[in-house]
Structure 1
Amino acid sequence: MEEILALVDARLRTALGEPDARAAVTFLGTDRFEVLRFRDSEGGTDVVRYVTLGMSGQPMADPSALLADPVKGPRAELVLSVRAGLADTDQVLRPLAVLAASPQVEGVVVAPGGSLDLGTPLWPGAPFSSVLVGESGGLVADLELDPPLEPVRFLPLLPMTPNEAAWKRVRGARELEERWLAHGTDLRDPRRRSVALD
């Protein structure tokens, strides 16, 4: 596990540079999870990225399986990107660690198109309490591991308002993403309103 996390840490530094902050969270009965913060300038606007480190140390197990395979299974880390300075987004560190721990705690397999719900705002005053899991391979390339281990995928998290989460449950992830695209929704705006859903 430690060897895998060292490789993940190195991949993140290669892709995003040096983190300017990191926080560790440990939940009873789980491994230690870290959340790293990276700053980036994108089109003249500062973007802050929060990335988990620790979730990929163990493979995610099929919740219907009688016994979890200690080697085989998908591995992932979570990436949240938001525009800096518009909200107190540094308070997202613990909620992100909670989401990263969900495979160990709840037997959840986190995969693109799925959603994760905290039940509370992602940070104080946030209009989002859930996220849509995006496709990997964009910002940080998948990290190949020696077989039979599956690659570590870096999954972007797209914050959803309660209305968007309800829409996604009924209509599916693809329709919500198409709606965001059609309306030019800035998914990195930590204060954005729900996209028009009528």
Structure 2
Amino acid sequence: MADVLPLVEARLCTALGEPDARAAITFLGTDRIEVLRFRGEDQEGPLVRYATLGMSAHPMTDPTALVADPVKGPRAELVLSVRQGRADTDKVLRPLAVLAASPQVEGVVVAPGASLDLGEPLWPGAGFTSVLVAEPGGLVEDLELDEPLDPVRFLPLLPMTPNEAAYKRVHGAQALQERWLTHGTDLRDPLRRSVPLD
């Protein structure tokens, strides 16, 4: 069976351009996870995008399944976009690799609407210790693989403050996203404060 990672990297490069930096991190008992850094921009100015490479090498397995299926199951990589130059966001490489390794380490299935909690700031001085997994398809299109493999989905990560994470636990991801939208929150601002939640 073909190695999916070269195909995943090619899809990332097609969507985001060539990476200008990459880091590889290996955790005990897991495969290597790389984090690629891409430069880009939107209407507001320059962006840095970080994408994991390695999470999709194996399908994610339902933690309640008795036997892990080595072929079938959802596959994903994580993508984080932040405004360039406002914070030392390059320190997010290790936390991103930790999140990407969580399906192998903890047996979780990462899907849109889920919260991933690090328990520590995403980068030094960050007001975010967790992320909300958003719907894929906007920035990087799903990568279809040969049957019977599931497609690789590129899941955007939206940093959450502890208050936002608590709100999401009670009211759900949709309610939090509506708050962000109502208040015109720039989710790519690495220095933003929590959205008003009352």
Scaled by the length of structure 2, the TM-score of the pair is: 0.99
Report whether the alignment pairs 1:195 with 2:195.
yes
The CA distance in 1 between the partners of 2:179 and 2:147, in whole Å, is 39
The CA distance in 2 between the partners of 1:44 and 1:111, in whole Å, is 28
**8 Å contact kept, 1:50–1:80:** yes
The CA distance in 2 between the partners of 1:79 and 1:123, in whole Å, is 15
Superposed displacement of residue 44, structure 1:
5.3
String of CA shifts for 1:87-107, please: whole Å, max 9, x gaps: 000000000000000000000
Q: Which residue of 2 is the match for residue 84 of structure 1? A: 84
Q: Which residue of 1 is the match for residue 23 of structure 2? A: 23
Q: Which amino acid aligns with 2:43?
A: G
String of CA shifts for 1:145-186, please: whole Å, max 9, x gaps: 011100000000000000000000000000000000000000
The CA distance in 1 between the partners of 2:195 and 2:93, in whole Å, is 26
Report whether the alignment pairs 1:36 with 2:41.
no
**8 Å contact kept, 1:2–1:57:** no
The CA distance in 1 between the partners of 2:50 and 2:167, in whole Å, is 26
Report whether the alignment pairs 1:5 with 2:17.
no
Write out the 4+ residue segments of structure 1 that deviate beyond 4 Å after TM superposition: none
Structure 1 residue ranges without an equivalent (≥5): none
**CA shift in 2, pair 1:81/1:193, >3 Å:** same
Q: Which amino acid aligns with 1:51?
A: A
Secondary structure of the residue aligned to 1:3 is coil
Q: Which residue of 2 is the match for residue 62 of structure 1? A: 62
The CA distance in 2 between the partners of 1:29 and 1:2, in whole Å, is 23
Superposed displacement of residue 123, structure 1:
0.2
Q: Which residue of 2 is the match for residue 109 of structure 1? A: 109
Tell me the C-alpha RMSD between the 2 structures.
0.9
Report whether the alignment pairs 1:46 with 2:56.
no
Structure 2 residue ranges without an equivalent (≥5): none
String of CA shifts for 1:117-136, please: whole Å, max 9, x gaps: 00000000000000000000
Q: Which amino acid aligns with 1:115?
A: S
Q: Give the alignment of 1:156-167 within 5 angstroms.
A: 156-167=156-167
Superposed displacement of residue 3, structure 1:
1.9
